[in-house]
Structure 1
């Protein structure tokens, strides 16, 4: 059951390694920020958290610059 008041968006991993939560975490954070459904394809092997943060921040910059595309 989905509670609309829940602050954590529902997410699922359809393909890939289920032990790597990077794509699910990124999708949740972006969905929380945009209040929209987000699909993430994440294929980065062995990246550190700083690199992942840079990617997320770049996506957010694109969302701010071109909101009509999101």
Structure 2
């Protein structure tokens, strides 16, 4: 398990920072999508962006796990 985390946390790799930023942005978008003053269409659009960001963040995480830690 610690080897897996060691492969995931690689601050010298740009993919790590992309993953961090995209996952943080996904959390913000998910929070925004729950605002009651937004219309359903806007909420669904924001939720779709949040899911896309989460998927892209997962892709970068997968790339880091496949690459050996340096």
**TM class by smaller structure:** 0.3 to 0.5
Q: Which has the larger radius of gyration?
A: 2
Specify which structure has the higher proportion of helix.
2
TM normalised by structure 2 equals 0.33
